[in-house]
Amino acid sequence: MRLIIIGTLNGQIGAATRIALQRGAKVAQVEDIDQALNTLRAGRGADLALIDVGLDVRRLVDSLKEERFNLPVVACGIGNDARAAVAAIRAGAKEYLPLPPEPDLIAAVLEAVAEDSHQMIFRDPAMGQVVRLAEQIAPSGASIMITGESGTGKEVMASYIHRKSPRAERPFVSVNCAAIPDTLLESELFGHEKGAFTGAVARRIGKFEEANGGTLLLDEISEMDIRLQAKLLRAIQERVIDRIGGAKPVKVDIRVIATSNRNLVEEVARGTFREDLLFRLNVVNLKLPPLRQRPDDIELLAVHFVKKYADANGVAERALSPATIDALRKAHWRGNVRELENTMHRAVLLALGPQIEVGDIRLPDGSALADAAGRPIAAAAMGEAGAMDAGTGGLVGRTVADVERDLIIDTLKHCLGNRTHAANILGISIRTLRNKLKQYTDEGLAVPAATEGSRATA
């Protein structure tokens, strides 16, 4: 856990730092927001920011978003000042921490951030086999390719490998290649010098340098433009990078883990992914099974998410009824663990009785889980040909373009407008999805609005 503390915290900085250090955090302290941004630009990354509520919290949050620094912000102030707390949350802070700092409270905040996306929860033998292989290869320095459907936990697995490796005490840095426009991704990875291009107002250390000594995760690498892949290949092979506008190469020592929800062999055949880069990255391949192929994990994960969101929302933790567990196990879970997590979050908020019943569980489109449970699995059991015959009856007489349009729009609705998630489920690139949606908009069709988290890719 890397923590950056911004401001004096009204003289409580020493106490907060000591508590964080005792809990195993690596702490950096700066006086103001400008110093914090310069620290991050210099490659000294952080996983959490604590900021004095007397500073401009909104400016920090907006600056982090503008410069693509992905870290949560917690505001701190003397006592339980409700007005200051509300203002900080409205400005974009995730939490408000009263001072003087309580050791248990700071520990809880740190643990919540550390736990957020790094827990490996499994019981099913199918997942256990993959985890054992991950543990076997973690001590090596080999590059790893993690594949699997969207939502199966590829980033969680990458973090798990890092924590089991000799680099565990060094940075783990993640870059979502699908969420960053091509024009910015090169700078994000390799950094730039001041004045290298319009808008480069200061030197910016890229993710390769930030991850030096540790692990760099290239999430959804199949979305990277093929022209940038050549520079990435050189960086991995030679262990040197060139900042944009830089005068000399910079040496780096990192382990690279990449993820993809696509078949990269097929992408190579299409000419959208370099074969030599695939060979370099795919020293070891870990294929994560979809949730429907690890049924013993469904109840375990559902119970975990119920507890997590009951605690987060301050509501009673309810048990899952036997009928609910049975329905959860029969559901198809196209979005895998991510979809299950969101579904259980809704159930926690909707449940009123002593248990979470089947009727409390709703899918993103508002339909009941019981209506959807088992149908895709039954179709799969018929065999590929049988499933095709059973599922195409309503398509005869329609054009391929019409079917494609309805599939894209329905999937986008299912993902609540999130372009990145929809593209992952559809198995197409975010660029292809954007082009299709522009075409539909030009044709006068209604397209679901982009969610806040997908505006960068909308």
Q: What is the pLDDT of residue 134?
A: 95
**Region 125-287: CATH code:** 3.40.50.300
- The per-residue pLDDT for range 307-365, each reduced to its tens digit, is 988 887 888 899 999 999 999 999 889 889 999 999 999 999 889 899 999 989 987 66
Distance from the first to the final alpha carbon of the chain: 32
Residue positions counted in the chain = 458
Class of domain 392-457: mainly alpha
- Picking from 48, 100, 57, 110, the residue whose alpha carbon sits closest to that of residue 77 is 100
For residue 167, give every residue at least 6 positions away whose Cβ sits within 8 Å of its Cβ, in sequence order, or none.
213, 214, 215, 255
Q: Which of 160-169, 358-367, 394-403, 405-414 has the lowest mean pLDDT?
A: 394-403
Q: What is the pLDDT of residue 398?
A: 65
Mean pLDDT of all residues belonging to the chain: 84
> What percent of the chain has a predicted confidence (pLDDT) above 90?
43
Assigned architecture for domain 291-377? Orthogonal Bundle (1.10)
Q: What is the mean pLDDT of residues 296-308?
A: 93
The answer, yes or no, to whether residue 377 has pLDDT greater than 70, is no
Local confidence band at 56 (pLDDT 50, 70, 90 cut-offs): very high
Q: How far apart are CA 337 and CA 339, in angstroms?
A: 5
DSSP string, 297-352: HHHHHHHHHHHHHHHHHT----EEPHHHHHHHHHS--TTHHHHHHHHHHHHHHH--
Beta bridge partners, 29, equal 5
- The per-residue pLDDT for range 221-241, each reduced to its tens digit, is 999 999 999 999 999 999 999
Strand-by-strand arrangement of the 2-6 sheet: 26-30, 2-6, 48-52, 73-78, 95-99
Assigned architecture for domain 2-115? 3-Layer(aba) Sandwich (3.40)
Residue 235: both structure tokens together: 């960086």
The answer, yes or no, to whether residue 441 has pLDDT greater than 70, is yes
Q: What is the DSSP letter of 192?
A: B
Q: What is the mean pLDDT of residues 16-45?
A: 84
Residue 103: both structure tokens together: 């050791």
- Please report, for the chain, the start and end positions of each structural domain, with discontinuous segments joined by +: 2-115, 125-287, 291-377, 392-457
**Is 93 in a helix, a strand, or coil?**
coil
Q: What is the mean pLDDT of residues 151-159?
A: 93
- Please tell me if the domain spanning 2-115 has the same topology as the one spanning 125-287: yes
Q: What is the pLDDT of residue 386?
A: 39
Q: What is the pLDDT of residue 166?
A: 95
Local confidence band at 33 (pLDDT 50, 70, 90 cut-offs): very high
Q: What is the pLDDT of residue 201?
A: 77
Q: What is the mean pLDDT of residues 137-147?
A: 95
Cβ proximity of 209 and 250 under 8 Å:
yes
